[in-house]
Structure 1
């Protein structure tokens, strides 16, 4: 049975959204295709109508989630207050505690290393994010905005990874606070 193109596209989008959440929450290998399809309220059967493999889903899911992050950065204003708002949002307890809707870079970078099909989307969007940040609000007059963007993203993502990894809530908060202070 054929479905209208709009319905097929909506189902595809729903699969991507659910896969992206589950991958960020449980890791690329911590979730199965049937679990993703169930979360998308679909049966396992039509998965291969949308994706050639789980690796293809992983790559498209990363493309989807990082593309959304890039669009959010592009939509941010170009001011010191916009920079602070961006950093406050990223380096927040809410972001730390909600991995399923958090940053793909902080949630999955260590797994993308071992997933070659995902590297292209990850690389392309990281380059876009660095470009958007350097043109948006990273110019401090201290030199190369691209280098500043690389340092900023590295510190943000590293801080989020560490804040999520420790079992000491006070230390986790301190990591976020000190990273934010170092970037403002």
Structure 2
């Protein structure tokens, strides 16, 4: 997760995904930013792996400037985004093309990203809590929820709905070491 400026808008929920080969921007984000859709270059090249088991044909591509950090130490580059029509949990997803353009080095264990800036090294980080909250909201989106009870086969119960870990005190205290057999 990163906070950065895309175009002229400060976005707070941008996923930095080093495993993705695309930079993705959702039409909802594009409209909220007030960017005219006439700037989108049409494309017919589909991609796979974003929506499970299906290919996605983007609306098109758009070039937008990306700014990491603030006026005292910043870095600006222009990236090409694939604009997609479906809803996403994040404002945008930045993949490998972003890492390459900014020559950024990720540290996944500490949720940090480092790159050179105008006045030294820029370190971008997030908290595990924030990453968890975004992941939880991704799981709870309507298009990923389980089907209604009436659609479950007869004789079978629908899966239980457990409360989120944030509602359960001491998530790690519930873990028990496996018993040794002697």
- The interval holding the TM-score normalised by the smaller chain is under 0.3
Larger radius of gyration: 2
The structure showing larger relative contact order (alpha-carbon pairs under 8 Å, at least 6 residues apart) is: 1
Q: TM-score, normalised by structure 2?
A: 0.27
- Say which structure is richer in helix: 1
From the two aligned structures, give the one with the greater strand fraction.
2
TM-score, normalized by length of structure 1? Answer: 0.27
